[in-house]
Amino acid sequence: MHGVDARLLSLLDAALDRSIVGGYTRIGYQLRSWGWPQDPQPHALKGKAALVTGANRGIGKAIAKGLAQLGASVLLTVRDETSGELARKEIVDANQDADVQVEVCDVADLSAVREFAADRHEVTLATHVLGPALLTECLLPVLRGAENPRVILMSSGGMYTHSLPTDDPEYFDEPYRGATAYARTKRMQVVLTPILARHWADDGVRVYSMHPGWSDTPGVAASLPAFRALTGPLSRTPEQGVDTAIWLAATDPAPPSGGFWHDWRPRPEHYLPWTRHGEQEREHLWRYCAYSAGIDNAWAQRSGSA
């Protein structure tokens, strides 16, 4: 691609991202994908294994389907075995060569995570932050033996409107609102990504977070019906939403670890000044999460502290 063309595409990409509607809908995906190479290559994940949480519907199922199409052996971790088997059947029916298995593991239940590789934590925090961190820590012996292992956290563009909840991450003191709790945990995922990347770097594990734009999923339909009605005609398909996650999992060479991505490009963590935070707040949140997930001792051993 010529230098002028690359600069024009970069300007278009930035304008789409800041317009929100242009960048997060199918419009942004279609415009940006014109400049994408044929990557990853077919069968790029042949011989590789992938574990997908929440894989029975929506974003999780679309990721599992995309990874299986690239040749990965995919393990669907789900809360309900029946729904997991239905998702597996759908993926295999579309691709007879797909190697897909189902395992029951409620990532929100930290004891279930330990058995796989309750507690009293707020379920949204446990599902999106504590559970994935603990699951990865438990699977480190497997990941160390893998070639180029990667962890990808599915965040949300909704996190851009929320700051880091360091004082009361589990709503002990303030009123609980489900949509706010969700967006705040998505902010936490993005904030913790570079810390987790450093934490697992010596094990050879790369860590990324990304967001899928405005994708039409069962979760959006159930929790934000008015938003879905408003954005429905422009919403991305789940497959368009997860394209970057699949690319991050399969592209070679792997992108630098620790970044936040959308549509094949690293993105800023902040657009609004009141959402910014300092390194001390970031580390405080990580210490809270590591202790809550029960991996603080492993963290201390890696950092060489007592």
d(CA 174, CA 134): 26
d(CA 262, CA 258): 14
- Token pair listed for 46: 């042949």
Across the chain, where does the E strand assignment appear? 49-53, 73-78, 99-104, 150-154, 206-210, 260-262, 265-266
Contact 61, 91 (CB under 8 A): yes
Closest Cα to residue 106, out of 88, 90, 119?
119
Q: Which amino acid is at 288?
A: Y
With tokens 């029916």, the residue in question is 93
Angle ∠(184,274,185) on CA atoms, nearest 5: 10
Give the chain's end-to-end CA distance (angstroms, integer): 52
Q: At what angle do helices 238-250 and 58-69 cross, to 10 degrees?
A: 50
Count Cβ atoms below 10 Å from residue 62 Cβ, excluding itself: 25
Q: Is 182 a catalytic residue?
A: yes
Q: Which of 24, 29, 160, 182 is catalytic?
A: 182
Give catalytic residue positions.
182
